[in-house]
C-alpha cells in the first residue's frame, strides 16, 4: 500500500467514481442501510463490522476517515468516536475487568483521571499513578494484577515524556496492554503503534479537526483490538462519530501538514520571545534545549509545536489576572489545535485564597500558538506582560 503522506490525505479510502467523481466525499447522512436479500441481512446481523447495516456501527463517510487515520499511524485499523474522552473510555474499559490494576502516568488528561479515580473503582479496578519519565518507575509499579499501562507523551500540561519503545517492550514482556494518548504530536510527529504501543489515541478535536468546530476522538491499533472494542464498547455505548463530523475531520486532514508546519515556525519565534523576556521565569517546550527530556523528545518525536507553558515572575495573583484579561487577540479558552491562539492561566484552577506565589504551578500559563502571524501573537503577549509590574 502507498503510505506517502499526500496519497493518504488526498486519495486513500476515497472512491470518487462511485459518487459522481466529486472531489469531496459525500456526507452519507443516513441511520440505516437497505438489503435486497434475506441472507445478506442475516450476514450483517452476524457481523456488523463486515458491512453497512446501521450507522451506530459502520458508515461510509466515517470509513474514509478510518482508513486515512489508520494509515497515518501505520496501524491495521482505527475507530473514530464522538469525543476524545469517549475514545479513552472505550479503549480503557475494553482492557480491564474487576480486580485489575492500571499503571498510569501522573496527571493524564483530566477525564482519563476521572475514569480512573471515580468510575473504575466502582468495578474493582484500581490505578497507580507514577512519574513516567523513568522506566524504573513502571517496573516498580507493576504488580501481578496489572493489565494496562496508560501513557500520555508528551503530557498536554507539563509535557513530561515517556520512552515509548522502552515501556512497550516492558509491557509486552509482562503481557500488559499499553495505551498512549498522542494528541500532542498527531501521527505526523509520533507513531506510538510503530513503537510497539497497542493503542494510540488522540483527541481529533485538536489538530485533526484544526478549526475549533468539531469534537472527536480516535484510536488505532491491531485489527483484533479494534474489533474487540467495536463489538463491545463502541456498539454498546454508541459513541461513534456522526457522518458530518467525520466529514469535517477529513477536511481537516487535507491541510494538517501545512498547519503543523506553520504552527511549528510560529512556536519557535514565540518561545524565543518568551525565553528572553525578563518577566518570564521559565518556558517549557519539549523541543527547547532547556527541556529536561530534550534528548528523548528529539529522538522520539519528529516535531513539537503549538503548546507551550511558561511561568511568570510575580508575587501576586492580581498581576497574573491582569495579564490574562488584557490580552486582545489571544483568547482565554480551553482546548487547542485550532487556527486561533489560546491561553489558560494555571491560577484559574486555584481558589484565590489558596494562591501561593512560591508555587510556580500557580504562576504558570499554558499558551497554544495558532496560525496567526508570529508578530501579531508576540505583540499581544508583549502588551499584556507590560500590565504585570
Ligand atoms: C482534549 C484532550 C482529550 C479529550 O478529547 P475531547 O475531544 O475533548 O474529548 C484527551 N487528551 C488530551 C491530551 C486532550 O488534550
List, as one string, the DSSP characters of 81-129.
ESSHHHHHHHHHHTT--TT-EEEEESS--HHHHHIIIIIGGGGT-EEEE
Grid cell locating 333:
479558552
- Predicted confidence at residue 157, as pLDDT, reads 82
Most informative mutation of 81, 87, 89, 111 for ligand 1 (most atoms within 8 A of CB): 111
Most distant CA pair in the chain: distance in Å? Answer: 76
What's 5-254's CATH class? Answer: alpha beta
Residue 283 is inside which H or E element, if any?
strand 280-284
Measured in whole angstroms, the distance separating CA 72 from the mean position of its chain's CA atoms is 14
Find the radius of gyration of the CA atoms of the chain. Answer: 22
Which of 286, 271, 347, 349 has the alpha carbon at shortest distance from 315? 347
pTM: 0.97
Taking the centre of ligand 1 as the mean of its atom positions, its distance from the CA of residue 103, in whole angstroms, is: 19
Residue whose Cα lies nearest atom 11 of ligand 1: it is 109
Burial 172-183 (b: 16+ CB within 10 A, else e): eeeebbbbbbbb
Which of 244, 266, 150 has the alpha carbon at shortest distance from 199? 150
Taking the centre of ligand 1 as the mean of its atom positions, its distance from the CA of residue 210, in whole angstroms, is: 13
End-to-end Cα, the chain, rounded Å? 59
Are 261 and 306 in contact by the 8 Å Cβ rule? The answer is no
Are 367 and 343 in contact by the 8 Å Cβ rule? The answer is yes
Which of 311, 266, 309, 305 has the alpha carbon at shortest distance from 287? 305
CA angle, corner 286, sides to 282 and 291, nearest 5? Answer: 50
Grid cell locating 350:
486555584
Considering the segment(s) 256-385 as one domain, its CATH architecture is Alpha-Beta Complex (3.90)
- Predicted confidence at residue 156, as pLDDT, reads 87
Q: Cβ(181) to ligand 1 under 6 A?
A: yes
**Ranges in the chain annotated CATH 3.90.1150.10:** 256-385
| CB-side neighbour CA atoms (13 Å) of 34 | 1
Grid cell locating 125:
479496578
Most informative mutation of 83, 84, 245, 249 for ligand 1 (most atoms within 8 A of CB): 84
Taking the centre of ligand 1 as the mean of its atom positions, its distance from the CA of residue 10, in whole angstroms, is: 26
Segments in the chain below pLDDT 50:
none
Grid cell locating 32:
440505516
- Predicted confidence at residue 389, as pLDDT, reads 80
How far is 234 from 240, CA to CA, in rounded Å? 6
Taking the centre of ligand 1 as the mean of its atom positions, its distance from the CA of residue 84, in whole angstroms, is: 5
How far is 166 from 344, CA to CA, in rounded Å? 33
Q: Which residues contact 28 (CB under 8 A, 6 or more apart)?
A: 59, 60, 61, 243
Unique residue bearing C-alpha cell 485538536: 206
Q: Give φ, ψ of 232 to 5 degrees.
A: -110, -85
Measured in whole angstroms, the distance separating CA 344 from the mean position of its chain's CA atoms is 18
Residue 175 is inside which H or E element, if any?
none
**Ranges in the chain annotated CATH 3.40.640.10:** 5-254
Which of 287, 322, 310, 300 has the alpha carbon at shortest distance from 363? 310
How far is 67 from 130, CA to CA, in rounded Å? 34
Q: Cβ(183) to ligand 1 under 6 A?
A: yes
Amino acid at each position: 500500500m502507498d503510505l506517502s503522506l499526500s496519497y493518504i490525505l488526498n486519495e486513500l479510502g476515497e472512491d470518487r467514481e462511485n459518487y459522481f467523481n466529486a472531489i469531496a466525499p459525500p456526507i452519507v447522512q443516513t441511520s440505516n442501510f437497505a438489503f435486497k436479500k434475506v441472507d445478506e441481512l442475516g450476514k450483517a446481523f452476524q457481523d456488523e463490522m463486515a458491512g453497512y447495516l446501521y450507522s451506530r456501527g459502520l458508515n461510509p463517510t466515517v470509513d474514509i476517515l478510518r482508513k486515512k487515520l489508520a494509515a497515518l499511524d501505520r496501524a491495521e485499523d482505527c475507530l473514530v468516536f464522538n469525543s476524545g474522552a469517549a475514545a479513552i473510555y472505550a479503549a480503557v474499559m475494553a482492557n480491564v475487568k474487576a480486580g485489575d490494576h492500571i499503571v498510569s502516568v501522573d496527571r493524564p488528561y483530566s477525564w482519563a483521571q476521572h475514569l480512573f479515580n471515580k468510575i473504575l473503582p466502582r468495578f474493582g479496578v484500581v490505578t497507580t499513578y507514577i512519574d513516567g519519565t523513568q522506566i524504573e518507575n513502571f517496573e516498580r509499579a507493576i504488580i501481578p494484577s496489572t493489565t494496562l499501562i496508560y501513557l500520555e507523551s508528551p503530557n498536554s500540561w507539563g509535557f513530561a515524556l515517556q520512552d515509548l519503545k522502552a515501556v512497550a517492550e516492558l509491557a509486552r514482556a509482562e503481557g500488559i496492554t499499553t495505551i498512549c494518548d498522542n494528541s500532542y504530536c498527531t501521527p505526523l510527529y509520533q507513531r506510538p503503534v510503530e513503537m510497539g504501543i497497542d493503542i494510540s489515541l488522540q483527541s481529533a478535536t485538536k489538530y485533526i479537526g484544526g478549526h475549533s468546530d468539531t469534537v472527536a476522538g480516535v484510536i488505532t491499533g491491531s485489527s483484533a483490538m479494534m474489533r474487540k472494542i467495536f463489538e463491545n464498547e463502541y456498539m454498546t455505548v454508541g459513541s461513534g462519530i456522526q457522518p458530518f463530523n467525520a466529514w469535517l475531520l477529513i477536511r481537516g486532514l487535507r491541510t494538517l501538514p501545512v498547519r503543523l508546519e506553520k504552527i511549528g515556525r510560529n512556536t519557535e519565534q514565540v518561545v524565543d520571545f518568551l525565553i528572553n523576556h525578563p518577566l518570564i521565569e521559565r518556558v517549557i517546550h519539549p523541543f527547547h534545549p532547556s527541556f529536561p527530556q530534550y534528548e528523548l523528545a528529539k529522538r522520539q518525536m519528529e516535531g513539537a509545536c503549538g503548546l507551550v507553558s511558561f511561568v511568570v515572575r510575580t508575587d501576586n495573583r492580581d498581576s497574573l489576572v491582569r495579564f490574562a484579561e488584557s490580552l486582545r487577540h489571544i483568547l482565554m479558552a480551553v482546548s487547542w489545535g485550532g487556527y486561533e491562539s489560546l491561553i489558560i492561566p494555571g491560577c484559574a484552577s486555584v481558589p484565590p485564597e489558596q494562591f501561593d506565589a512560591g508555587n510556580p504551578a500557580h504562576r504558570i500559563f499554558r499558551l497554544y500558538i495558532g496560525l496567526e502571524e508570529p508578530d501579531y501573537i508576540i505583540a499581544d503577549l508583549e502588551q499584556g506582560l507590560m500590565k504585570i509590574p
